[in-house]
Chain A
Amino acid sequence: MLEVTGLQKIYRDREREVEAVRDLTFQLTEGELACLVGPSGCGKTTLLKCIAGLMEPTSGTVELAGRSVTGPPPDMAVVFQEYGRSLFPWLTVQGNIELPLKEKKLPKKRRGELVAESLEAVGLSGSARAYPWQLSGGMQQRVAIARAIAYEPRVLLMDEPFAAVDAQTRADLEDLIRDLWNRFDMTVLFVTHDIDEAVYLGQRVLVLSSSPTVVQDDVSINLPSVRDQLTTRSDARFTELRTRIYSEIQNAKHTSAAAK
């Protein structure tokens, strides 16, 4: 479904070169929910932008359903961390969700259905006419997620979407993502720096090394598919997995420090 092959990104300016991503290769199969986790500054956002077609890699390729990604693909939606800047303050909640659908030239009736359905899915049915800035942070991110869902993407990319919300809201939103992934037919790539979050959400966790980045490990999360904030997080396997990934990341930091 999604194939990233030998991806490399070097930022260049006049004085120096920074190799943010060295050599990344991985595949996601259709309908998978995978989490990407790595130490801060490891180039997660760079990788995501390359996959989203917002940035051109220095070398390597990204393929979505067999087609090479050169610009933003029509069947992919991105949820950014900065919901406050990603939602347009001059449009209402409904206007924000509808804008990409208008661009897709969907008829008015269909747009209305998608807006209603997506808002219902994120639990914000009553807020269509509100402006995003009238809502709380958690609600704003729900609107951004609703906008992505309404776009009917085959692949949903999420760039640390819950990094800026409080812990309780975060737990709710994590469950929302699991719920939406079960309900809608899509592949989800969820980028985070939070190991617990990655293990709780994913079927699979890709562990990235420090910059310059490679895939350090690919961990399959063999937890039951119905997850719950209390029981899943107290499961012995959960603890075991998070310990493993934690030490992987610590390891990654040290090796890269030693290499320097």
Chain B
Amino acid sequence: MNMMTADSVRPARTPTDQRRLAGARRPVRARVPGAGALLGAGGAAASLLIWEIVPRSGVVSPKYLPPASEVLAAFVERLALQSFWTAVGDTLITWALGLAIAFAAAVVLGFLVGSVPLLRTFTSSTVEFLRPIPSVALIPLAVLIYGTGMQATLLLVVYAAFWQIYIQVLYGVVDVDPVAEQTARSYGLGRWSRARHVTWPSALPYLITGVRLGAAVALILTITGQLTIGSPGLGQSIDVARSSGAVASVYALILATGILGVTVNVGVRAVERRVLRWHTSVRGENTA
């Protein structure tokens, strides 16, 4: 879970609940840029060393926690297997498809509901009720409707990611600078033009924040669904490895999901830097 909260919740302008979360978990920055990377690498090496020593010294039984070297060996072994890459592919497809569906639905609905105050008030109580429902509570329902195929997991992913993006869009659509809006109107921009040239770019920082949160949540739910429902993917592989007693493989697969999570986060960050290069969160305040 940490992967999604620690550094991903740092948008320039977001609702206060998220800002609070960010404040509580903001990572401490090293003063010298190079020193930060070095410290980080050192920290990782130290963790691996402890992981190696703890099972070997017998503090924890190697049966439950194999030493790091064994897990890494199992991981490298997996990399050569066709079945591993199929599982990675299935996981990525479920994740991407779920995120895409959630994105499309959230943008369309968010813009629609966000720009009609009456509709917004009308739907807010329902949204506030549905949003906190943990996606995993829908597992029985998903299985009932779709069996154990990918669609069942997809349902969970879409549900969880949708709210993350939808709420952001809802806030973003109303946070249009009145001066920008009046400028657009005074230059004769119609409703549609204003939506496209003013509201959309104004909401973009929110939308990207939503996508960043949604992408992380989508991955969590992808793995969860595969693990508990048994849809094909890395989650299912973990469960298979567990039931066959291949403990080192279980850890190796967990490692793979972690790497996937980091990759997803780095990817979304790169998109953000590109799309929002004009925004203060990316360009900084120190301009002429």
A contacts, CB < 8 Å to B: 49, 52-54, 72, 74, 76-78, 80, 82, 85-86, 88-90, 99-100, 103-104, 131, 133-136, 147, 151
**Given known A-B contacts A90-B201, A133-B287, A134-B287, A54 and B185 have beta carbons under 8 A apart:** yes
Give the complex CA separation of A14 and B188 in angstroms. Answer: 32
B contacts, CB < 8 Å to A: 177, 179-180, 182-183, 185-190, 193, 197-198, 201, 204, 278-279, 283, 287-288
Give the complex CA separation of A86 and B182 in angstroms. Answer: 8
Query: Is A89 touching B182 in the complex (CB atoms < 8 A)?
Result: no
Query: Is A100 touching B182 in the complex (CB atoms < 8 A)?
Result: no
Chain B residues touching A, majority SS: helix
| A99: contacting residue among B177, B186, B190, B197, CB under 8 A | B197
Which 7 pairs show the lowest CB-CB distances between chains A and B? A100-B187, A85-B179, A90-B201, A78-B186, A86-B183, A90-B278, A136-B288
A-B contact count (CB 8 A): 59
Give the complex CA separation of A131 and B201 in angstroms. Answer: 15
Contacts beyond the supplied A80-B179, A100-B187: 17 A-B pairs with Cβ under 8 Å? A52-B186, A54-B186, A72-B185, A72-B188, A76-B186, A77-B186, A78-B186, A85-B179, A86-B180, A89-B279, A90-B201, A90-B204, A90-B279, A99-B187, A103-B187, A103-B188, A134-B287
Query: Is A85 touching B177 in the complex (CB atoms < 8 A)?
Result: yes
| B283: contacting residue among A53, A104, A133, A136, CB under 8 A | A133
B216 to chain A, nearest CB (A): 26
| B186: contacting residue among A72, A85, A90, A104, CB under 8 A | A72
* Set of chain A residues within 8 Å of B177, measured between Cβ atoms: 85
Give the complex CA separation of A90 and B184 in angstroms. Answer: 14
* Set of chain A residues within 8 Å of B182, measured between Cβ atoms: 49, 54, 78, 80
Query: Is B187 touching A77 in the complex (CB atoms < 8 A)?
Result: yes
A128 to chain B, nearest CB (A): 16
Which residue of the partner chain B has the closest CB to A75?
B188
Give the complex CA separation of A15 and B279 in angstroms. Answer: 39
Give the complex CA separation of A82 and B183 in angstroms. Answer: 10
**Given known A-B contacts A85-B180, A88-B198, A99-B197, A131 and B188 have beta carbons under 8 A apart:** no
B276 to chain A, nearest CB (A): 9
